[in-house]
Structures are given as structure tokens and as C-alpha cells.
């Protein structure tokens, strides 16, 4: 099976087959129908309606003000604009931490808006919630490492998993999420060697962002990859508009770079 040969909307089963076949998955954040259509046409596998919309769409300093209604609105727009890409939606801050029942109610709203899977941040402490959701028919993606909703606890947007103790905790968190039924985990801003270890130890899909090339796939914030906002970018960001003839060309270049292993390169990764 090749990702490019599937013309209908990809399913969780399709992603699993691509992963088992050793194909790198390509994920972009997406927030509207126009970009959804563009990215879909470039063969992007997964579109993530990220709470990063708080930063790049709404102009906030953090993702914390984003609501379930915001994510649902943008999820519906992305679903309408795409035909093929798998749709993944973020659970925003405060929408799932209180109880599994709260998480279920809000996840239902996102699934009704068009999501095929929801993503939540946190490790072993979220295992019961993940198990509750999965047992009730809601696929879950975890998120470890730099978790933007915990920015104030972490003291800023800093690399995570550095040092033996922190690395061990992250590995244990990943295993806990897998055992709870998560079928995908985003690994953000962690040492590349640690991401490779975690990926090798799991049988689920790992999606890296600032986590090296050994993850099962990569996710990019669309505005960063296309060099839309001004200012300093994170180390793991590559400007795919550089040398591209159009946004479509840039998206195709990004997908090709992930699939052939040339992105991320050593300059986009962190040491332990």
C-alpha cells in the first residue's frame, strides 16, 4: 500500500498499514477549508486541527485560550475542504483534565464536527482518560515532551526529556499511553536519540516535531513551514517556501522530504 494510491479518506486502519509498511507519515496543522484543499491535493496524510490556532490564527501568546467550540468550528471547515487526509483534532486546555467523563463529552463534540481521532497532552496521569475514550469508540493520540498547554508549569517552551531521569519518565509515559489504547503519540521537542528509543520500544505510530527523523512521521505547523508569520522560528522549523514556486509546490516538497528522510536533518534536532 502506498499513501499516494489512496483516493478516499484515509482511516486509522490505513495509517496502521502505512506504518507497518515502513512509510513515513506526513502531518500538517490545518485550520480552514482553503489550506485543507491545498494540503489534501499535495498528498498530506493527516491534517491536525491544532490548538496552535490560538497562536497563529487568534494571535494569543499561548494555546490556553482556545475552546472546544473553536476546535470544532475549524475541524468542520477542514473536513469540508478535504477529501483524503485523516482528520485529527486537539482537545484544548481544560476540556479533558477534570475527568474521563468530561473528556468524553468534549471529544464527542469534536468527532461530531468531523474528527476521526482526538489528541490530548499528558502521560501516565492521562492513561485512565485514554482508556475511557478508546473503550467508547474514540481513537486517541497522545502528546509527550514539550506540551504547550503546560507552558507555565514547564517555565516556557523548552526542550524536554533531557537527562536520564526525564528520559525514563517519558518512556514510561509513552508505554502507559500505549497500554491504555492510544494508537498514535506526538513527540515534541525532545532529544532525537530519545525519540528513536521510544519509537523502537512502541508498536504504535510516533509523530515527531523537533524529535528527529526516526519517528514514524512528522508534523509541521503550516504557517511555520510556509514562512507565513514573521519573527524567530523554532530550531526544528524548515522554510519549505524557499525555492518553491507555489504553496502547493512547498507542500509537495515538505511531504517528499519527510518521506525520503531528508527532513528533519541534524540541524533541526536536539541532543540529549
pLDDT (tens digit, 9 = 90+) per residue, 134-171?
999 999 999 999 988 877 777 777 888 999 999 999 99
Rounded Cα distance between 30 and 227, Å, is 15
Bridge partners, 184 (sequence order): 141, 205
In this structure, the number of other CB atoms found within 10 A of the CB of residue 249 comes to 14
Q: For residue 6, what pLDDT is reported? A: 73
In this structure, the number of other CB atoms found within 10 A of the CB of residue 162 comes to 15
Q: For residue 157, what pLDDT is reported? A: 73
Write out the DSSP string of 178-237: HHHT--EEEEES--HHHHHHHHHH-SSEEEEESS-TTSSEEEE-HHHHTT-S-S---TT-
Residue 102 has pLDDT above 80, yes or no: yes
Number of domains in the chain: 1
pLDDT in tens, 228-262: 987 888 899 999 999 999 999 999 999 999 999 99
Strands 184-188 and 140-145: parallel
What does the pLDDT average to over 70-80?
98
3-state SS, residue 120: coil
Q: Which of 121, 172, 179, 188 is catalytic?
A: 188
Q: For residue 232, what pLDDT is reported? A: 83
* % pLDDT > 70, the chain: 97
In this structure, the number of other CB atoms found within 10 A of the CB of residue 55 comes to 18
Q: For residue 212, what pLDDT is reported? A: 96
Expressed as residue numbers, the domain containing 12 is 3-268
In this structure, the number of other CB atoms found within 10 A of the CB of residue 94 comes to 14
Which of 118, 114, 74 shows the shortest CA–CA distance to 96?
118
State phi, psi for 6 to the nearest 5 degrees: -85, 120
Rounded Cα distance between 60 and 209, Å, is 21
Q: 137 exposed, middle or buried (CB, 10 Å; 0-12, 13-18, 19+)?
A: exposed
Q: For residue 150, what pLDDT is reported? A: 78
pLDDT in tens, 2-14: 555 777 999 999 9
Bridge partners, 206 (sequence order): 185
Establish whether 188 is a catalytic residue. Answer: yes
Q: For residue 4, what pLDDT is reported? A: 58
Q: For residues 189 and 206, is the Cβ–Cβ distance under 8 A?
A: no
Residue 87 has pLDDT above 60, yes or no: yes
Residue 226 has pLDDT above 60, yes or no: yes
Write out the DSSP string of 8-70: S---HHHHHHHHHTTPPEEEEE--SHHHHHHHHHTT-SEEEE-TTHHHHTT--SSSTT--HHH
Strands 140-145 and 117-119: parallel
Q: Give me the CATH number covering residue 144.
A: 3.20.20.60
Rounded Cα distance between 76 and 128, Å, is 28
Amino acid at each position: 500500500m502506498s499513501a499516494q494510491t489512496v483516493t478516499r479518506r484515509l482511516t486509522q486502519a490505513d495509517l496502521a498499514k502505512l506504518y507497518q509498511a515502513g512509510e513515513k507519515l506526513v502531518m500538517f496543522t490545518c485550520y480552514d477549508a482553503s489550506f485543507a484543499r491545498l494540503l489534501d491535493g499535495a498528498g498530506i496524510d493527516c491534517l491536525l486541527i491544532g490548538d496552535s490556532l490560538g497562536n497563529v490564527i487568534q494571535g494569543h501568546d499561548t494555546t490556553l485560550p482556545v475552546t472546544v467550540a473553536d476546535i470544532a468550528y475549524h475541524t468542520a471547515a477542514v473536513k469540508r475542504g478535504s477529501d483524503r487526509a485523516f482528520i485529527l483534532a486537539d482537545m484544548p486546555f481544560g476540556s479533558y483534565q477534570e475527568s474521563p467523563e468530561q473528556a468524553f463529552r468534549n471529544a464527542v463534540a469534536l468527532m461530531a464536527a468531523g474528527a476521526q481521532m482526538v489528541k490530548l497532552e499528558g502521560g501516565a496521569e492521562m492513561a485512565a482518560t485514554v482508556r475511557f475514550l478508546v473503550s467508547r469508540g474514540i481513537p486517541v493520540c497522545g502528546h509527550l515532551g514539550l506540551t504547550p498547554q503546560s507552558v507555565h508549569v514547564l517555565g516556557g517552551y523548552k526542550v524536554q526529556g533531557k537527562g536520564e531521569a526525564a528520559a525514563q519518565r517519558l518512556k514510561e509515559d509513552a508505554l502507559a499511553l500505549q497500554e491504555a489504547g492510544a494508537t498514535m503519540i506526538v513527540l515534541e521537542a525532545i532529544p532525537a536519540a530519545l525519540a528513536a528509543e521510544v519509537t523502537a520500544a512502541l508498536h504504535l505510530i510516533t509523530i515527531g516535531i523537533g524529535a528527529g527523523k526516526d519517528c514514524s512521521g512528522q508534523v509541521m505547523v503550516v504557517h511555520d513551514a510556509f514562512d507565513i508569520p514573521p519573527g524567530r522560528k523554532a530550531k526544528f522549523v524548515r522554510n519549505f517556501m524557499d525555492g518553491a514556486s507555489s504553496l502547493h509546490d512547498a507542500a509537495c516538497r515538505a511531504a517528499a522530504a519527510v518521506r525520503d528522510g531528508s527532513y528533519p536533518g541534524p540541524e533541526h534536532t536536539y541532543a540529549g
